[in-house]
Amino acid sequence: MRIPGPEEIRALHEKYAPTAEAFELVHTHCEIVWRIAERLLSAPHLAHLDADLVRAGCLLHDIGVYRLYGDDGLLDHRGYIRHGLLGHELLADEGFPEALCRFCSHHTGVGLTRNDILSQGLPLPVDDYLAVTDEEKLVMYADKFHSKSRPTAFLSADEYASQVRRFGEDKVTAFQALRARFGDPDLDMPAPYGGSSDRP
């Protein structure tokens, strides 16, 4: 499988971003998620993972967000849950293989199940959207430590666990399993957009 590099992925973001602000928000977030994942990958027990695939997954996972911007330049927050599936479709339309498309559709929260979709009335085709491979799980996990909401912020593992609890204890358990597998990331890095530190 051919894995696109950072410049090719940046060009895709530029192609689909409706505004410079949208590009800055989404692409910067994706780069930060990769920096988090890259630090986690330095653990010896993760040496078997495909770092190039993880990098591509991190840099592509939120590309579907661009399809939620309206003609008025505003983001459809109510439909945000669809961004993963929209990204999957975008990458498939671009000819990327399923293994790359899945990073978009299978990273939301700590995974969405059929039961989640039915019980919460989510506007998604009823299916399981769960990370399966270690690469998919690592991208999903790294994504939990940075928020795109304004102002963008880093989240500690405990902060994310507290946030996800509102969706059920099973989601906390799933997150803690990821935490045990991959460890706590070092979030000591420059703040997004060059502002003051948002680290926990």
Residue type, 20: A
Q: What is the mean pLDDT of each run of 10 residues along the chain (200 residues)?
A: 96 97 95 96 96 98 97 92 98 97 97 96 97 98 90 87 94 97 88 40
The pLDDT assigned to 37 comes to: 97
Residues contacting 43, CB < 8 A, separation 6+: 182, 183
The pLDDT assigned to 194 comes to: 39
The pLDDT assigned to 192 comes to: 52
CA distance 37 to 185: 8
The alpha helices in the chain, defined as continuous H runs, are: 6-16, 20-41, 51-60, 83-93, 98-105, 114-120, 134-143, 157-164, 169-182
The pLDDT assigned to 151 comes to: 63
The pLDDT assigned to 193 comes to: 46
The pLDDT assigned to 171 comes to: 96
The pLDDT assigned to 141 comes to: 98
The pLDDT assigned to 190 comes to: 64
From 138, 180, 181, 177, select the one nearest 50 (Cα to Cα).
138
Q: What is the pTM for the complete model shown?
A: 0.92
